[in-house]
Each structure stands twice: as structure tokens, then as C-alpha cells.
Structure 1
Amino acid sequence: MEKLHLKNMVCNRCILVVKSELEQLGYTIHSVELGEVILKNKISEKDKSIIASKLETFGFEILNDSNSKTIEKIKTILIDLVQNKNNDINSNLSDYLIENLHHDYSKLSNLFSFVEGISIEKYFINLKIEKVKELIVYDELSLSEIANFLNYSSVSHLSNQFKKVTGFSPSYFKKIKESKRKELDHL
């Protein structure tokens, strides 16, 4: 088996694109998850180059060094937590990352801050605020429901964090909507 770690693979659509492209290239896939592909057979460096070239056209990059892989795993876990698990964790963020990555949190935190120029916590808050923006734009949930959905302790906490990050209150943002949203992979 061959494991490939991919940068910018942040959503279920990404999984479908990667799976489809690898199948079109004739590779047998064991599994595809956010940030990771496991092929059933070992591949050559030439095959890796072909895959990298093909996936690069869709904005994906094969990661080769362990620090880049670790950073991407952290991002993938956090994005998955916000996008697919509604921030539903039974422990604090550091414990959640330790459980999922099996590394000392201080090492993860220092590496992430050094490489990305932002703490893991601030990155996670930015992801949550982008999700709040998305939910405000969809206009299907009240602010109270959004706060509950993303496990904020209160609407006030969500509003304060939203204003601190964006400079706007959620109600003002609702008026200006989509022009202020960023795609998650551009954070």
C-alpha cells in the first residue's frame, strides 16, 4: 500500500475529485479521506510525479516532509470538526488533537505557529467564524441556533468573537453577506 498526504483537500467534493482522477489514471484506491489517499499498491516516483501533476491542476499538492504532513493533518482535523462534526468534541481542542495525532500538543502548537504564523486556536476560531458567515448567508438558522450548532456557550460569546475577528456584528454582516466570505482552503 502507498499513502499520499495531500494539501488543500478540505471537503467532500475534494475527496470525490481526487478519487475520480486517480481512478481515471488507473490506480486502485484503498481509501480516500480528507488530506489522505491510500493506494492498494506501492507506486514509483514516476507514478507519484504523474499523480502530483494531475492533482495540481485541481489545487492539490502531495506533501513530502513530515512537518508539512503534520500541519496539513492539523488543518484537516480542524476543518472536519467544524464542517462535518459541528464542533462536537467531548474534550478541549488540545486533547482532541492529541487523541487524533498522537503527538505532544506543545510540539504541534509550536510547529503550527512557526509555519503558519498563527496559533492553532486562532486558526480554529477563524474556521468557526467562516462557518458562522456561511450559516448567516444561508439564512436558515437564527443566531441562537448557529451558536448552539457550533457549541458556543452563548449568542453573546459568538457575537463577541465574530466582531473581534471580522470587525462587524453578525447582524451587520447579514446585511453585507457574501462579499466578506473566504473559502476555507484560503485561510
Structure 2
Amino acid sequence: MKLYVKYMVSLRCKLMVKQELQKLGLHYTNIELGLIEIQENLTNEQKEQLKSNLAASGLELLDDKKSILIDKIKNIIIEMIHYSEEVPKVNYSDFISEKLGYDYTYLSNLFSEVKGITIQHFIIKHKIEKAKELILYNELNLTEISYRLHYSSVAHLSNQFKKVTGHSPSYFKKTGEKRRKNLENL
């Protein structure tokens, strides 16, 4: 049985979900960002208990198909930008469409309708958060960061960075500003 979980955006969230499943005596076969696969079929009582336990930790068990699809889109983007070392070989739109098996126009319209921003803007916000993280780690220069985040140039990264944060990457680095956002709040 597959269950979808909103706000499950980190390894800590995955550990928390594992603990909740163990408390209920449920056996999982797979846990990914936003997705749990369990061996058993849940009773209504088990589902409500899991829903309640996850909610206490800031996670939400999803029921409706639109919410599930939106969450899948978000998790693909988060996984791609924050947890993957590889630069996608295709456009983000093609990658997302291919992963989910839906036409990108449909996904884009649905995402905009429900979230109030475009998928592209959501991707940009996450790329800038990742850029902030990489700048603060001080292990890569801006050229390496722009390549890793699939920007065509340092200038392109710098322009988007300034639009989103109000500061240039070099100013951000120089001031040591630590204002990063939680992934689930983007």
C-alpha cells in the first residue's frame, strides 16, 4: 500500500516516519521523500492514528489526488536540487513530466492553481536556497555552484540570486548572512 506524506522533505523526516510506523507495528518496504510503501493494508483506525502521529511531528498524510500530485512534483524538485549530485541531462520540465508520466502543461497548470506560483518559480527558489547553502559551506566557488545548479553562467545565477534575496552572492558570502529557509516553507 502506498501512502503520501506532505512536508516530508529531509532525511530526519524519513527517520521520524520510520519510528511512527514501528510504533504502530507496520512494516514498510520503501520510504522516500513524500512516499511510504507498507506491506499491510491499513484499517481506518490505523490510518487515523498514523495521520495523528505524523501531524504531531508537522507531517501530513495526503488523501486527495491533486494534493498527492502536487506533493510528488515538490518532492521531485527537492530531491533533484538538494539531494542529487548529478545535473539533469534534460530540461527540468521534461524531467518532471517524464518522472510522473503526465504532460508538463497539465502539471504546471495544476501546480500554479493549487500553490499560487509556477513550477519554474518554485525551482528557482530552491536553487537559490541550495546556492546559499553551498556559499555558506565555502567549498565551491560561484562558477562551480552555477554549474552544479544547472545555470548557464555565473551571471545568470547572480541575477536570480539578487532577484530572490535582494543581495548578490558575493555580498551574501561576505556578510556571512545565515538566513536560510526551511525547505517545507518554500
TM-score under structure 1 length normalisation: 0.95
Aligned to 1:174: 173
Q: 3-state SS of the aligned residue for 2:61?
A: strand
Number of aligned residue pairs? 186
Match of 1:128 in 2: 127
Q: Structure 2 counterpart of 1:130, which letter?
A: E
Q: 8 Å contact 2:127–2:149 — kept in the other structure?
A: yes
Per-residue CA deviation, residues 95-121 of structure 1 (Å, 9 max, x unaligned), is 111111111111110110011110000
Equivalent AA in structure 2 for residue 175 of structure 1: K
Deviations 1:30-80 (A, max 9, x none): 111110001101011110000011111111100000000000000000000
> In structure 2, how many angstroms separate the alpha carbons of the residues matched to 1:142 and 1:69?
37
Distance, in Å, in 2 between the alignment partners of 1:98 and 1:118 is: 18
- CA drift of 1:178 comes to 4.3
Q: Match for 1:74: what amino acid?
A: I
Give the AA of the match of 2:114: V
Please give the alpha-carbon distance, in whole angstroms, between the structure 2 residues aligned to 1:86 and 1:120: 21
**What fraction of aligned residue pairs are identical, expressed as a percent?**
49
Q: Is the 8 A contact 1:4 1:63 kept in 2?
A: yes
User: Considering only aligned residues, what root-mean-square deviation do their CA atoms show, in Å?
Assistant: 1.3
Residue matched to 2:39: 40
Counterpart contact for 1:113–1:120, Cα < 8 Å: yes
8 Å contact kept, 2:4–2:34: yes
Tell me which residue corresponds to 1:165.
164
Counterpart position of 2:101: 102
CA distance in 2, matches of 1:141, 1:58: 34
How far the C-alpha of 1:181 sits from its partner, in A, is 1.3
Q: Distance between the aligned counterparts of 2:125 and 2:85, measured in 1?
A: 14
Q: Give me the whole-angstrom Cα distance separating, in 2, the residues matched to 1:51 and 1:177.
A: 41
Paired residue for 2:20? 21
Contact 1:86 1:151 in 2 (8 A): no
Counterpart CA distance in 2 for 1:28 and 1:162 is: 43
Distance 2:74 2:176 in 1: 25
What residue is the counterpart of 1:146 in the other structure?
145
- In 2: Cα distance, 1:157 partner to 1:91 partner: 18
Shift of 1:87: 6.0
- Distance in 2 (CA, whole Å) between partners of 1:103 and 1:75 is 15
**Farther-moved stretch of structure 1 (99-108 vs 15-24):** 15-24
Q: 1:60 — aligned with what?
A: 59
Secondary structure of 1:159's match? helix
**What is the identity, as a one-letter code, of the residue corresponding to 1:172?**
Y
Question: What is the TM-score with the length of structure 2 in the denominator?
Answer: 0.95
